[in-house]
Structure 1
């Protein structure tokens, strides 16, 4: 059977359908302004022509009104711009739904990187046993975070799901109804969500996507790769941050964590009840039916009981035992009828237990330090503590020694007046409660962000034991290393811990595994694109070596964002390129915002992307030796990273860097979007301080400007150094030899493809910021030219035509939106210069335009995932 090229499949199943459905969508009257759908294409055309002629956004908007809508007054013009924004937001939704519907057509669901392909290749090469052995110890964990890069409210996500289904079935009348619903459903959130709201919206994916997808992947491995019906390593599991991630989020309280844990347990019970209800219709045999009915009733009561009072009627072990016993009866007495349906449920209980997902707790080391100092002072004050009076004056090594042996009892948690101290200690106690209710997997990892020293780890280690885990510590303590200096110091920090007998005894009890988290987003913000990725790569190598020296398996957990600038991009290619010097027993990564809906939002995309992640780890194991870098290549990679780091540091240190972000970008508008429960910056100062900036608004602001600086800045200068020295062949050699380097550059190309400097070209003439804009533009041109030279491509992303085509359609959809945004920003800059008051009506209107226009642009960027 001949298969059309991927680009042809994209054009037929996505692009053509979008053009047809969009023309229907544009004729629908959603409100009194019936002309919006007619005028938007004219405005789109005006934008395209205008930018080709070198016009600025203000000229383009004014030209449009002069040419087509000369009679409108100013208020009516502003209203039309708001209508355009609403239409464009909904065009993005339409394109999302069409792309989701076409996913299994555009992507080969049995092609390279899928489990079927993996099994076929292994069988053909006689490696099936090796594959089975590898799958017994390999795991993929995706960790859902509430980081706000997804602007759709839950109601809109529901419409996308239904629209995807209707488009798959070509159901025109349903599509028409959903278009109508889409037009009437607000996209804007009037209030910030609470952390519990965020948890609930992500539990939707657990219930509607992951429950089924994880089950079918596990079933396939069990029946087709092992073919023995036995229980095996669960391979895929899920982590969860909403309700547990306290870092910079004052709204996550101990009762939030408990409430989310209860909701997770209730949700998995509901899924088990639904499966039991279906089984009841099939298993109508003597000796079986009444047992299934009993379980069905029990889980119905579990899932509808809001208070969680029925905690211990049946444990998950007892549940599995009963299901296995029922299976025995069916096998022996009823010809194994419907046994595969029963196996599906048994496998899901094995995968999800009573926890559904593992709730991670996360807090900043600086908060821990303050909390811990308060606790120590109160213990010393009792006069009966094991801590000496001069504890705070001791060296770090002496403090670590005392902490490792601390046995003091901190049980009266209400004795502390400070709310942060009280909440931190109560959270530790709650981990123990969740483990009792949801099983140990319910909450068994505590991440320390901004971790800089071994003392940071030992403070938490001691607190966990003193507050709740006196007998046995069933929690993994995971340091998170983010900045370039922290990554460089990480191996030394871990050696200090590995040489501590008490900490080592804890690791041995936890299967000799040490969880280590590495932050791509803050790494890039701190060190630039190449240095962040190379810094993490080198840190992983050294941490692997250090851990193996002490017979510990390092479990790396990557804090990745959606766009390449935050560690996203083609993630599975990244994992298949790591080579043998990096521990690869598990792939763990954060998934957030639009990455959840774009990569895991449907059953098809979730299955495909999970299988790609599983096979990427296996491919790295098989091809590991091929991916090992030579000393010469390493030297070039290090030099490129160093040059780009210096270039990025100089850029960050430019006196116009902060003013440009503050006054020329959308940075300050992120806080007004009501998309996440967490504040948009860490500090409380009114003055913008770089270290307080969160990675998401930082990267997002460059994205809104269509300058995507964090995804390429410094790459061009680093490559240019080799070109000028007549040593470009060394970089070509590295590109040819290293899959890791190729993956980095391909992701950088994606950032360049999504840049559009004509949008902000008007800034080049600005007397204050013109020079700074030109520096960015120059680096963009250099990077683009040299990446094309290095790859031999005639255009960016030439090797990925369907991905490029998707980006082009999305960028085209939001072009009018970005034009409106820049028009409003320019008006605001003029009003600022004129010294207009903060509550000036015009100023408020233009601010509202900027804030509203953020949404559609970010949602359209989902293919940066």
Structure 2
């Protein structure tokens, strides 16, 4: 592949450009060797033609290119698509490598914690306040099973190897022969990537998705967690603050196996299977770590003493595990820490055997606490006996890692739609009570009052002797499964039940009544083993969220349960559905306002509010730079605790290499600490905030009206379906969950389409409507109404507005109306082309208004490295888009399905996703 597109840039990011050039040259040579000069020349023709078209539109060249693509044999098209896709995979991993190593690259690693604590120090924050925040600190990434990772694990593994080789190659002390050896190995991997099928031929199972998440967690256990915790301890030490090793700044969450909203593949049996799978994997991660610890702790009682508590524990271990004593006492009699590690190791092995179905009665750890207690015994003994450095070394780091992951690696959230749990409660209550029209016919107030009565009642609604509907039976089995899992692995294994599409308090009370059936909730005894978490998703639900939570927390029984659970109330905010419902401006603004109002409700009721941000990878789903997002939250809403969803290609981009994971986690922890300490009070006067909020209300109203006018246009559904490959998305097999909800009559409907494929389709066709539509119209109206100075002030002084505009700007750079026009001209009925004209006009308006606010001549002028990176990518994404349009036309015009066309089309979808680094 040619690299002339890259060489034009200056030397600021020369090392990155050199690596991308090298990978491109290797790819080109491999293409020639595998598939011949003819294929290579086709690739170069497509690349050079699309670049020329981007720089200066030429109708004759465009028609020539389209004609050539339409006439090219499919096997050539497939290989051409794979060539461009492979280029992006290699370019992506090169960028990841340089994000780790060099500050000249956008997003490169920095000393995030050190920088944050320097600002905290400059603000003269008392150490007591810092200690309070750190003691309740919990940054929890939650990995979801949403179908947005387009690359297969086999490809990701090979790309991981490329990253490792690039890391080796960056060593300045390498000999020439060593560099040549690394290049040969890089060429091997490039060839393997080209010869590996990128497509999944079957939809992955939830168990496979769980293994994918565990892959990243294993990496983080080995490296990232200990590094971040040690960096945090290092900064805290400068304030005279120390932490117990079991106080961790991070925990991990997962929806894989717990999210059943619209996914019929997730059952209670599967939930338990995945928890067991995670438990087994946790033990298999802990055991070798204990073995390594034993190699480290070789202190001998011939030189130093040990504590009485450790000695007593060894005697107990000897009684419990005599075979270990018989095997190791002679070797480790004078090395008690190694002997203790041998006993710990054996208990972990027994746990693994039990997980595999044998050795059920042998001593093992019931949950993570006794394991941590054994390690604490050793740490205390080391500290008390002249081994302070060792106590603060490997054993402390291991305790922090185990504390972060627990016995199942990640805390699983249960998520189910409010309608499903509501229907189950209706059926249970209708069995025991006679209500005219049934329980479901009651008003919300009457339902809620009745559900509170049921919470206080000691009667049981369900019975094994009664046959319920399959859906209700599944719900009852699920609450029982949650209780059994908590009994076995500890309560943190599942803490939250998220109620999708929460409308009012009866949706939340229904879940508590169901939990009561399994003994998870017993108000009169103060038992609250699971928390119900509302998920407010659509615009009207966000606007009412504070009212719902106020009424919910005003119920005495609820307040008692919250107090029993530690006084923390979790609320989840849905970014994607609110955007799909109201457009990006109104979505972002209503989310911001909801957080402010929920903060006030928490203060009113004396509870801590933990906000769970359902952000996705793209700006249209709440994505964007993590630190900017955290710092842009309303004051006092980030109070040491935050949960954020991570999904799809975002996971591999943030956690694909161990150093990347460390960088991202440190950034997240630093941002939450800084936001908690430096943004606990407003940075501006009430008068100034009122002025800005009034401006945003006005802008949001204008943007909302503009957005709704688009999606309510006659023919819009057909336009979206036809101008994007969203209908073909189902064939990609990139997630276990269906891409759309089933409609009653099988008709096309935007409402039935999930928010992820909604964004995915717009991204693929380069229209990216969810990332900007309505913004330009609203900003122009505001400017023409005399608000230009206010807009400039908001951009320069208000983190929320600055982040919002910056994210829209990045999205606008990735759009291409020239490319989008190819989709529309080729695939959409001419009677609907006026919709595209409206999208183009709004995109141009948005660019003009963003440039005015940011005081730039061109988008991203103030972020030159990012601008160059995206510009180079566009030269290679454009060819894939042209190929995709040609393939969509072939597929949709054919009378019968052609597997070769289908394959080529899905490969093009995969390639565009890799090129834009976003799917949905």
Which of 353, 366, 387 in structure 1 is aligned with 2:419? 366
**Alignment partners' CA distance in 2, 1:438 and 1:411:** 26
* 1:220 counterpart = 2:203: no
Contact 1:580–1:627 (CA<8 Å) still a contact in 2? no
* 1:416 counterpart = 2:467: yes
Which of 859, 866, 887 in structure 2 is aligned with 1:803? 866
Alpha-carbon deviation of 1:773?
0.9
* 1:322 counterpart = 2:360: no
Question: What corresponds to 2:154 in structure 1?
Answer: 155
**Alignment partners' CA distance in 2, 1:185 and 1:304:** 36
Contact 2:109–2:663 (CA<8 Å) still a contact in 1? no
Alpha-carbon deviation of 1:221?
2.3
**Alignment partners' CA distance in 2, 1:360 and 1:8:** 48
Question: What corresponds to 1:670 in structure 2?
Answer: 729
Contact 1:112–1:118 (CA<8 Å) still a contact in 2? no
1:414–1:480 CA distance, 2 compared to 1 (3 A): farther
Contact 1:431–1:444 (CA<8 Å) still a contact in 2? no
Question: What corresponds to 2:346 in structure 1?
Answer: 297
Question: What corresponds to 1:143 in structure 2?
Answer: 142
SS state at 1:141 partner: strand
Which of 519, 529, 535 in structure 1 is aligned with 2:590? 535
Alpha-carbon deviation of 1:352?
2.2
Question: What corresponds to 1:39 in structure 2?
Answer: 42
Select between 408-417 and 154-163 the one with higher mean Cα deviation: 408-417
Select between 101-110 and 275-284 the one with higher mean Cα deviation: 101-110
* 1:343 counterpart = 2:396: yes
User: Tell me, which stretches of 5 or more residues in structure 1 are unaligned?
Assistant: 1-6, 67-73, 382-386
**Alignment partners' CA distance in 2, 1:456 and 1:602:** 41
**Alignment partners' CA distance in 1, 2:416 and 2:467:** 19
Select between 193-202 and 232-241 the one with higher mean Cα deviation: 232-241
Question: What corresponds to 1:399 in structure 2?
Answer: 447
Alpha-carbon deviation of 1:828?
4.6
Alpha-carbon deviation of 1:532?
0.2
* 1:651 counterpart = 2:651: no
Select between 316-325 and 156-165 the one with higher mean Cα deviation: 316-325
**Alignment partners' CA distance in 1, 2:849 and 2:69:** 41
Alpha-carbon deviation of 1:40?
1.2
TM-score by length of 2: 0.86
SS state at 1:526 partner: helix
**Residue pairs, 1:556-575, within 5 angstroms:** 556-575=611-630
Which of 112, 116, 119 in structure 1 is aligned with 2:117? 119
Question: What corresponds to 2:27 in structure 1?
Answer: 25
Residue by residue over 1:676-724, the C-alpha shift from the partner in whole angstroms, topping out at 9 and shown as x without a partner, is 0101101244211121110111011111110110000000000111233
Contact 1:144–1:241 (CA<8 Å) still a contact in 2? yes
Select between 296-305 and 774-783 the one with higher mean Cα deviation: 296-305
* 1:283 counterpart = 2:279: no
**Residue pairs, 1:224-235, within 5 angstroms:** 224-226=235-237, 228=242, 230-231=244-245, 233-235=247-249
1:494–1:123 CA distance, 2 compared to 1 (3 A): closer
Contact 2:53–2:62 (CA<8 Å) still a contact in 1? no
Residue by residue over 1:283-339, the C-alpha shift from the partner in whole angstroms, topping out at 9 and shown as x without a partner, is 234222222112223223433554366487224222222212223444445745743
**Residue pairs, 1:576-725, within 5 angstroms:** 576-580=631-635, 582=637, 584-620=639-675, 621-623=677-679, 624-626=681-683, 630-684=689-743, 685-725=745-785
**Alignment partners' CA distance in 2, 1:185 and 1:242:** 27
Which of 202, 206, 210 in structure 2 is aligned with 1:199? 210
1:40–1:305 CA distance, 2 compared to 1 (3 A): farther
Contact 1:254–1:423 (CA<8 Å) still a contact in 2? yes
**Alignment partners' CA distance in 2, 1:296 and 1:60:** 68
Which of 83, 99, 103 in structure 1 is aligned with 2:99? 103
1:89–1:646 CA distance, 2 compared to 1 (3 A): same
Alpha-carbon deviation of 1:177?
1.7
SS state at 2:534 partner: strand
Question: What corresponds to 2:547 in structure 1?
Answer: 492
1:95–1:317 CA distance, 2 compared to 1 (3 A): same
* 1:452 counterpart = 2:503: yes
Question: What corresponds to 1:177 in structure 2?
Answer: 188
Residue by residue over 1:457-485, the C-alpha shift from the partner in whole angstroms, topping out at 9 and shown as x without a partner, is 00111110123325422101001001011
**Alignment partners' CA distance in 2, 1:593 and 1:730:** 38
Alpha-carbon deviation of 1:236?
1.1
1:668–1:292 CA distance, 2 compared to 1 (3 A): same
Contact 1:413–1:426 (CA<8 Å) still a contact in 2? no
1:804–1:128 CA distance, 2 compared to 1 (3 A): farther
**Alignment partners' CA distance in 2, 1:522 and 1:759:** 27
SS state at 1:36 partner: helix
Select between 29-38 and 318-327 the one with higher mean Cα deviation: 29-38
**Alignment partners' CA distance in 1, 2:62 and 2:485:** 56
1:222–1:429 CA distance, 2 compared to 1 (3 A): same
Contact 2:143–2:645 (CA<8 Å) still a contact in 1? yes
Alpha-carbon deviation of 1:857?
1.1
Which of 260, 265, 277 in structure 2 is aligned with 1:263? 277
* 1:432 counterpart = 2:483: yes
**Alignment partners' CA distance in 2, 1:389 and 1:827:** 54
User: Tell me, which stretches of 5 or more residues in structure 2 are unaligned?
Assistant: 1-8, 170-181, 301-333
SS state at 2:484 partner: helix
Residue by residue over 1:461-513, the C-alpha shift from the partner in whole angstroms, topping out at 9 and shown as x without a partner, is 11101233254221010010010111111112112211111111111111221
Which of 509, 517, 542 in structure 2 is aligned with 1:466? 517
Q: CA RMSD in A?
A: 2.6
**Alignment partners' CA distance in 2, 1:126 and 1:736:** 25
Which of 249, 260, 265 in structure 2 is aligned with 1:251? 265
Alpha-carbon deviation of 1:569?
0.9
SS state at 1:164 partner: helix
* 1:187 counterpart = 2:238: no
SS state at 1:524 partner: helix
**Alignment partners' CA distance in 2, 1:638 and 1:338:** 57
Contact 2:110–2:663 (CA<8 Å) still a contact in 1? no
Question: What corresponds to 2:315 in structure 1?
Answer: none
SS state at 1:693 partner: coil
TM-score by length of 1: 0.92
Residue by residue over 1:568-609, the C-alpha shift from the partner in whole angstroms, topping out at 9 and shown as x without a partner, is 012321211223253533121100001111122222222222
SS state at 1:511 partner: coil
Question: What corresponds to 1:59 in structure 2?
Answer: 63
Residue by residue over 1:521-554, the C-alpha shift from the partner in whole angstroms, topping out at 9 and shown as x without a partner, is 0010000000000011111111111221111221
SS state at 1:768 partner: helix
Question: What corresponds to 2:838 in structure 1?
Answer: 775
Contact 1:47–1:60 (CA<8 Å) still a contact in 2? no
**Alignment partners' CA distance in 1, 2:665 and 2:628:** 13
SS state at 1:626 partner: coil
Which of 809, 817, 822 in structure 2 is aligned with 1:749? 809
Question: What corresponds to 2:304 in structure 1?
Answer: none
Question: What corresponds to 2:576 in structure 1?
Answer: 521
**Alignment partners' CA distance in 1, 2:397 and 2:530:** 30
Question: What corresponds to 2:856 in structure 1?
Answer: 793
**Alignment partners' CA distance in 2, 1:720 and 1:122:** 38
**Residue pairs, 1:346-357, within 5 angstroms:** 346-357=399-410
1:558–1:169 CA distance, 2 compared to 1 (3 A): same
SS state at 2:253 partner: strand
**Alignment partners' CA distance in 2, 1:540 and 1:65:** 51
